[in-house]
Chains A and B, each alone.
Chain A
Amino acid sequence: MADLRTNLAGITSPNPFWLASAPPTNSGYQVQRAFEAGWGGAVWKTLGDPILNVSSRYAAVHFNGQRVAGFNNIELITDRPLEVNLKEIYETKKKFPNHAVVASLMVEPNQEAWHEIVKKTEAAGVDGLELNFGCPHGMAERGMGSASGQVPELVEKQTYWAKEAADTPVIVKLTPNITDITATAEAAVRGGADAVSMINTINSLAGVDIDTWLPVPHVGGKGAHGGYCGPAVKPIALNMVSECARNNRINVPISGMGGVSNWQNAIEFMLMGASNVQICTAAMHHGFRIVEDLIDGLSTYLDERGILSVQDIIGKSVPTFSDWGNLDLNYKVVARINNEVCINCNKCHIACEDTSHQCIDMLNDPNGHAILQVREEDCVGCNLCSIVCPVDGAIDMVELKSDLPPMTWNERQSLIGSLKDRKVTK
């Protein structure tokens, strides 16, 4: 069996699956249950000055009968006294010395406050610290969480203060509620972060009840924006991880999270540069037991490929992720419909006809059977047909060999530029 042990900036854990700082890591009871189930690590629900929560806190987006495509919450950081949390952290770490226990921290943006909480928390025996600069609701209105996480200077300064006091590795958790996450990631690195983690939740309003016209969820008739997570945010999170991973100035490990729901998702994040993954919504949907398949699936995946350690896949896809301007303009794929497999639902036809490039014809074969056929000369290789096709193997996107050598937009522009320059010098 492949070695699943991971190391994030010196924090080791038996496997790459950590519970993210959230309701599942609210107490020693829960974290210990998680470790018993097999989770490799847990980031304790954010410590700070205990807050008051409201009732009616979560909402979800269900899509076409599937529950929890996305998840929204307006719960704040821990509502339990710091001493209680620290005591339970101590006990948990004692029972599970090989598991990673990381404390998430959030205090006002001042040096003393950061020094104090870092010291107290480390005294409880944590393996590392995660600075919560991402929580988008409630705490942000008090100048904490994403309010400070959206300002690169504040990220840098607070990271620096935490690092001044810290002996254990400091992870900076970033908010996605910003135009370019690499700006704040760089700031964290400048402040001395040992690792960054992303993404925190995205500003969201889960819905409006069309019968009562009230926001979902509402607290006694009034709602406020929450933080969005779950499967629907995975592509956003994966992009942010990838952007940071390919940025040379962000030369610290990344802990990836945002919609990771299964072992395949975990592999995707790790291939794109995450050293481990953090999970919350999937556990909240199904319980801690999901970790069994996470471990089993990952392990089988690695074994089937003869990969000895999960660490060997970290960042392996990063070089394939670039800017649009570096894509080959002469590369061409087209759709091919396998009429043996096709069930003639005609969804590809109508999708192409109405919304794409009008290149799939509904025809009859010589025996009079309905078939669908792509006019390859008109197909732009957009993939839409294969995306809407409900049957595996009915539509293949196949590569057509190009007569032209590869040429990217950037290459083309620089070539045109050099030709222009030549004209001018003449």
Chain B
Amino acid sequence: MSTSEPMIQRELQKRFTEVTPPLTNQEAFQESQRCLYCYDAPCIQACPTGIDIPTFIKKIASGNMKGSAKTIMTANPVGASCARVCPTEELCEGACVLNHSTKPILIGNLQRYATDWAIKNDQVLFKEGQSNGKSVAIVGGGPAGLSAARELALLGYSVTVYEAEKQAGGLDTYGIVSFRLPKAISLWEVEQIEKLGVTIKTGVKIGKDIPFHELLSTNDRVILAIGMANVPDLQIPGEQAEGVYDAIELVKTTKDAPFPTHLKDKKVVVIGAGNTAIDGATCSIRLGAENVKILYRRSEQEMTAYDFEYEFAKQDGVEFRWLTQPVEIVTNEAGQVKGMKCVKMKLSEAAEDGRRRTEPIPNSEFLIECDAIVKAIGQKRHLSFIEDLGLAHNDGVILINPATMETSNPKIYACGDVIFGKGQGEAMVVSAAQQGKTAAYHMHESLKETYSA
């Protein structure tokens, strides 16, 4: 008996539905009552966007839901997404004083409760500022770009966001698995910003459809929030075989129906052990893969995925192969992936940066049979684009003044993943949001003189 396509799609839709259930009204009410309403609360300090957490929780407790959502979204224009994707145990919840006496407040879930309320009740939380006659172009409509756009719109700027994809939202819309962050949440945030008069031009690639210098000459300032590019090559033989996928591209195909079915019953190998590797692996499981293994050349301690992600992947049935370095993709005559040749690695003493190096164990080669390979070993940079702009950078990481987000060109600011790396910035959505705010405020500061006169 064969299963019909609509049935398969329905089943997949179910599998890609948000896994964490929302708090019920009762749960949210009780949890909000438990918050101590600390003064000078450490949770606020631990939030990169400085959300006044005790205040938004107090407002849930008092039944002031609109005020609660507004408190959140004021500090963080992508606060609904962050409620779902922030590593809260390392941020606000990790700082909660109740860690010492009982259990931390479920800050992320309460934030989701308040922002869900705003989404469900179709609330407009902000009003654009009075026009100041200045215009800003923002390249990239991800969390950093949107955050800057929102703040600038409130300050009265005419803002245009240029987004290469069909929809804005960046990683929140395309790059984070929908069972953690449904697309609709990110799109609501985009819509909130559009309602402030921000123009978002999607499907437009700057440097291709519109030359960058045009933005520079027609706007008072430009913000670069272009993020990073696709996953780099593994640089091993067999890379071009059929069945080798980019993890970010894979996740993107699962953010909307129809869901791909090409991984059904496949043995999948995921290379890498960061956030995206976990997303690639758990996506593969949900797409019906028979078996999913994550290969990582270092060990559990070195992996960059968060603990909760690791736990989640294990619960999903993802297997982990530590100290395993892929060396060659094995294909059949038709050029399809058939296996991954690997070598065993061993860890050396920690180097100066504290990270232990690995080295291959001689004669330890072995084969892992598989039908698909998902690459998740980081992301490439938009190197040539950045070079063309003549901005100072370090291997594609745009150099900025971290206090102002100003690049080597005082008319150009940069924020988000495009400035992350080489010891600069943070990879989190919430950090990108804060950088967007910082860029907006300092740009505003720098432009003040020009229109106050």
Contacts and interface: CB of A to CB of B under 8 A. Distances in A.
Given A64-B61, A362-B40, A343 B29 contact: no
Interface string B18-43: 00000000000110010011111110
B36 A390 contact: yes
Nearest to B33: A65
B242 to A, nearest CB: 57
Interface of A: 64-65, 343-347, 349-350, 362, 390-391
Contacts of B97: 343-345
Given A65-B61, A344-B38, 7 more contacts: A65-B29, A343-B100, A344-B97, A346-B38, A346-B39, A347-B36, A349-B40
B3 interface: no
Given A64-B61, A391-B101, A347 B39 contact: yes
A371 B52 CA distance: 22
Contacts of B100: 343
Most buried by B among A344, A345, A349, A390: A345
Contacts of A349: 39-40
Nearest to B34: A65
A10 B33 CA distance: 48
B257 interface: no
The 5 closest A-B pairs by CB, nearest first: A65-B33, A350-B39, A346-B39, A343-B97, A345-B38
Contacts of A390: 36, 101
B98 to A, nearest CB: 7
B30 A65 contact: yes
Contacts of B37: 347
Contacts of A64: 33, 61
- What secondary structure prevails in chain A residues at the interface with B? loop
A344 B42 contact: yes
Interface in B123-153: none
A73 to B, nearest CB: 26
B39 A345 contact: yes
Contacts of B33: 64-65
Interface string B93-104: 000011011000
A350 B54 CA distance: 14
A65 to B, nearest CB: 4
B378 to A, nearest CB: 35
A390 B40 CA distance: 16
A106 to B, nearest CB: 41
Most buried by B among A343, A346, A347: A343
B64 to A, nearest CB: 12
B29 to A, nearest CB: 6
8 contacts: A345-B36, A345-B38, A345-B39, A347-B36, A347-B37, A347-B38, A349-B40, A391-B101
Contacts of A347: 36-39
Contacts of A345: 36, 38-39, 41, 97
A345 B61 CA distance: 18
Nearest to B97: A343
Nearest to B62: A64
A364 B8 CA distance: 60
B39 A343 contact: no
Contacts of B29: 65
Interface in B63-110: 97-98, 100-101
Nearest to A389: B36
Interface string B332-350: 0000000000000000000
Most buried by A among B37, B39, B61, B98: B39
A343 B101 contact: yes
B451 to A, nearest CB: 40
A334 to B, nearest CB: 21
Interface string B408-422: 000000000000000
